[in-house]
Each structure stands twice: as C-alpha cells, then as structure tokens.
Amino acid sequence: MKYIDSDLYWGKVKVKDIAKLVGTPFYLYKYDVINRAFKKVDNAFEGIEHILCYALKANSNLFILKMISQWGYGAEVVSGGELLLALKGGFKPEKIVFSGSGKSETEIEYGIKNNILLFNAESWKEILIINKISKKYKKIQKILIRINPDINPETHRYTTTGLKGEKFGIEWKKVPEVLTKTKLLSNVKTVGIHIHLGSQIVKKEPFIMCANFIKKFIKTAESSGIKLKYINIGGGLGIDYENDFPISDKVSGKKEKALTAKEWADTFIYKNNWRDKILIIEPGRFVMAKGGIIVTKILYKKRSFGKIFYIVDAGMNDFIRPSLYNAYHNIMPLQKRGEKQINVDVVGPICESGDFFAKNRNLPVQKNGDLLAILSAGAYGRCFSSNYNSRLRIPEILIKNNKTAIIRHKESANELINNQPIETIWIDLKGKQTTKFLKNKNLSIPFGKFSATGNDFIIIDNRENILKGLNLKNLFSYICQRKTSAGADGVIVIEKGEKKYRVSFYNPDGSTAESCGNGLRALALFLMKHNTLFSEQIIESKDGIHEIKFQGNKPKVQMFIFKKSFKEKTLLIDNKKIKGYIINSGVPHFVILGKNTEDPKLMDTAKKIRFNSVFEPFGTNVDFIKKIKTDKIMIRTYERGVEAETLSCGTGAVAAYYIARKILKLKSPIKVITKGGELIISEEKGKIFLSGEVKEVYQGVFNLADIQF
C-alpha cells in the first residue's frame, strides 16, 4: 500500500477508482495479502503434521471461503450457520472442526450428518448429546475435550477464553474424570484435547505456558492409558495493528511488536516432542485482518469546543472493534494534501457517543468529501456488522490480479424489511388462529405452473404487489423444492413495467437470473391464457426488451446475443485442455463443440467449468453441442443456480445457435434438440427468435399460513 502522485494505491489499483464505481462505505480485500498470510502460518508449522482450520468467525464471506477451501485448508466453525457456509464454500467435511460453548442439538446433528472431522466438546452434557445423536445415526463421532487451563493471555478482557471464570472449556482439574467417563460411551471417541487461550495475543509468554501445560497433560493422560492423536492449540495469534502501513511516525499509543507466525509455531513445535501427534491450528484474525480495509467518506469536518471531528459515512455498525474494544486501527487518506497534520476524532453517523474509529489521532488535513481508509479491517468487520439505526450493510469488494469484483452487494432496502411483515395472523397459546389480521392477497398467492420443453416454472402475477413484505429468496427456494413443495426449475414474477410488463427470474436457490428463454415462452402463454397478452407485445427483463409473437397458441420470443462478449477460450480442466466459446445470450454461457454429447462425465466437467476462476465472481452456464444435420444440433446444458443439468435451457439454445452459425456455418432456422424436446431458433429482420413447445400444467394457490419457509 503506497502513494503514487498523492493517490493511495493497493498494489496497482487506485483505491479511489473503486470508490467512484461502488460509492462509500465499503469493505475492500486483497487476494494476495490473504493468501500470503495463510502460507506464513502453514509454512511455520512445516515439519510436523498439522491441519490449518480457518476460523470462519473472522470473516465468513462465501466467496472468500471458496477461495480458502480451494487453497486446501480446513475450517473451524462455531454455529450451524457457519457450518452451512463452510460446506457451501467447498470445505471438505473431513477438515471441519466444530467449536463453541453452546451447540444446540440441531447444530450437533447437522455436523454429525455431514461427517465433519470432530467436535471440540466443552462440557460433559454436550458429550452426552453428541453420543446420543451419533447412536441415532449409527456412527462413532470423534471429539476433542476443550480444556480451560486457567492461563492469562494478557489480552482484552472480552477476548479472553482460557482463564478461570470464563464460560469456555472444562476446568482442567476435572478433565481426567471426563476422559475416563467418555471411554464408557459407545458412540463417541476422544481423540485429543483442545485449548484456546483467547484472541489478539501479542506476547510469547501465554503460549509458552500453554505449551508447557499441554506437555504435562499429555504425559499424565497417556500414563493413564489414554492415547491422544490430535492436539488443537486453537488460534489467537495477534497482529500489529498500529504499525501496519503507518502514514507517519506520529502515531499515538504503544508500539508493542506482535509475534510472527514462525515464533508462534516454534513455541509449540520445538519445545515439545509432538512428532507423533497431529496439530490442529485455528487462525482467523492473523490470516484475514491485514488483507482488508474499510473505505469511508468524510461527510462533515466539524469543530466543537475547540475539537475537530471528521464525521464519516461508515459507522460502528459497519466496524465495531474500536467501539467495543477501544481497538486501534491506522487510518490513511486516499489522497495526500500535504504534510500538515491536525488532531482529530474520526467518528461515524450512528446516534451513539461510542461510534468512533479514532480519538485524538494526528491525521493529515482533509476536507468534506475526502476519502479515508481504515486499515487491518479484514477480520471482524462484515461478520460483526448489524442494521443498528436501520442502516443497510455495506458491500464487499475483492482485488485479485489488479482486477476488482463485488463479492457481496450492498444490502437493499427490501432486504431490510422483507422479514418483517406489517400484517400477520395472530395465534393463541393453544395454537389456534384467533384473528386474520391480513388481507387475503398476502395470505394466499395464486400461481400457475407451466412447462416449456422440460423446464417447469412457477409464475406469479405481482402487479398488485401481493408479495410485499415477504422474504422472496426463502419463499422461492421453498416453492422450487421437489417432493416437498410445488417443485420447479425457477419462479417468474410479473410486475408493472414502464411500458407493459416487467419480469424477474429466480433460480431454485433463490438467486436471480438476468434472463430465461424458456421462461419467457412460458410467461407469454400464461399472459395469453389470462387474457392480458394479445397478438404482439413486449416484456421487459434485466437483459432488455423482448418482443412476443404468436403462431396460433404457440409463442415465440425475441432473444439477444451480446456479441461483444463472444470470444474463444481454452481452459485447463483436470490437466486437459478444453476449448470453448464464451458468449452472453442474456446470461453467460460457455459453449463446447464435440462429437460425444452422451458422455456421462460431461456434467462433472461442466461443474468444474461453471466455478472456474475465469468466470468469477458469478460463474457461467456450460453447454455441450454437436452437429446432427445441416439444420439441427444437439445440446446438453449445466445451469448455474440450478447447479445441475437441465432438460432444456432457452438462453443455452440461443448461445448454441450463434456458435453453430458462426463456427459450424449452419443456416437459419436451426433446430436445437434438448433432453426436454425440440427448440427452434430463427432470425427475422436481424432479430433472433426462440420457439418450441409450451404447456400449462396446473393452476394453484400457496397459502402462506400453512407453509414454513
């Protein structure tokens, strides 16, 4: 991080340029900084068998988790939600450990069902519950006993976890008894111990005391016939917040140098003969903090009673460490305006006196509208954030190879209110409904189910705003479940558009899609059957304005090819070169020409392509096509959002059509054979149209009072 011509750069990226694109405030992370920090820890323990399990509590952004899991590391989780994110992020269950002093039975069951490596058990009662649930699933679950060694880590009182009087772990004097009792249980196996002293530990002495304690404990346990395979030393390694990219030598506060990863590792490795053990390490802050900053704008420069305040647009709800721990974070302006410094408080807009990022700090002179970077904010930022003062949570941006990507969008106003219905139903204590304090439109949602060459859709007319106040992502994920709900490849929502109709497409996982060719055809038939669409009309979607035409009762819809997106690309998948064509037909596709579209392994390959880094951050659909005749091709499609092969994909067929015209030199119209049936792509006056079979399956009503989502 450095200044070039007075502007702050992180690597080769000018931070101010990102602020212009996304606005402020936002979290900003750097891929290579995070990667180097992980390697420092991993390499520090070289020479002894170990598992590095990243502590998700530090930063649980799903894109970052995917990144870390691809590096081959494990995960430490402390809740069912973190376990869900770890699994979604690609961490292997055999590298996941579950900590936490208050695991619910539901969370324990979730871990056992997903075959995680082990639990860090914190009480005898918890061990009994793990045994009970393991017996239910006919498994033997590995556990570690978490010990409270009563060692003072000399850190902030709120981040101390290994001192007497804390809720964590089992009192060390009682552990031998617990080990003996656990041996009598049939469905748990104690394979080691776990000790975590606390967080942001910058001195060596607490770790030395911990290493000595473990050494003595192992000797005592194994002399009693208890063999320990794993030694989990937790995390807690602190970082040097103050001296991180200092802007001057006038930084206030103490200059205590934090331990390096190597110094931390040496404390445990070379002082003790643990070569027959597997060490588990759980770093969080150390690997994430320096890889992130917060960028915020000065709203007002204010003077009051002789004191100067920089009032910024980020608040304690975005980054609570200074308010909660009185933590020190270095602050740098994004643009230098000379060497002069003044003493200021950097404060946020929250209606709390504790809303601050720095007090009595010497900082360069700035003006209204200038931008500041709060450093070492990659850990305990977004995951610690809240909606206090009903503020929307801010976006997360990642820099990788001098390119940037949004890895979590700014929270929307709808997300703020979606889980809070203004109208509801009242239930008495006996479970009986007493009052319908609802207009039926919000309790009952009419819908139609339509099928278009194998793709089935739930279509909801929301022009009267019947979905207001509902959590659409959760609702649509529920609706699309097969066997337990209506089941569909997606949900289509009709809304009032600027001209006639606007439509939104939702995938089965609740995410949105830019377009859907088969969905547009199903929608056209739905509107015609409800006498709201006649002859030729238009429909608005994210990717543009679509013309709708009818041949009898069969609709055909205008589709798009964004030709600027078209390019040839060769990928390396499983050490094999795969050539294909990147193209956007409303949604991104990667089209591969081949001779054998029946190969059962194609979808395995497609899944790897779908998540390939070339298509980050949103991924791509993958299509395999082959020529059958001069006017006919066959296609198989792996669809993102569905995360599986689909029977038919309209945008995929259009992408395949373009490749067939461009590369195979076929002439229009072209028949595209999918597993769900035949689609026809044609051109009329330079416009591309998609047609094929569409049918109504049934109509129905969702009664929200009867379902949970």
Do the Cβ atoms of 647 and 455 come closer than 8 Å? yes
Structure tokens, 140: 């033997």
Please tell me the distance from the alpha carbon of residue 338 to that of residue 344, in angstroms, as a whole number. Answer: 16
Task: For residue 584, give the nearest of 617, 562, 615 by alpha carbon.
Answer: 562
Structure tokens, 64: 């970052």
Please tell me the distance from the alpha carbon of residue 197 to that of residue 148, in angstroms, as a whole number. Answer: 8
Task: For residue 541, give the nearest of 473, 584, 492, 477 by alpha carbon.
Answer: 492
At 667 the three-state DSSP class reads coil
Please tell me the distance from the alpha carbon of residue 99 to that of residue 302, in angstroms, as a whole number. Answer: 46
- Sequence-distant (≥ 6) Cβ neighbours of residue 95 within 8 angstroms: 51, 53, 73, 74, 75, 117
For strands 331-333 and 371-374, give the pairing. antiparallel
Residue with tokens 């460490």: 321
Cα–chain-centroid distance for residue 332? 28
Do the Cβ atoms of 137 and 113 come closer than 8 Å? yes
Residue with tokens 């900590």: 99
* Backbone phi and psi for residue 86, each to the nearest 5 degrees, phi listed first: -60, -45
Q: Which of 210, 351, 516, 649 is catalytic?
A: 351
What residues are paired with 592 via a beta bridge? 624
What residues are paired with 19 via a beta bridge? none
Any idea what DSSP says for residue 237?
A: B
480 is catalytic: no
Calculate Rg over the CA atoms of the chain. 29
Please tell me the distance from the alpha carbon of residue 620 to that of residue 607, in angstroms, as a whole number. Answer: 10
Please tell me the distance from the alpha carbon of residue 55 to that of residue 462, in angstroms, as a whole number. Answer: 42
Do the Cβ atoms of 27 and 394 come closer than 8 Å? yes
* Backbone phi and psi for residue 111, each to the nearest 5 degrees, phi listed first: -65, -45
Report the catalytic residues: 351
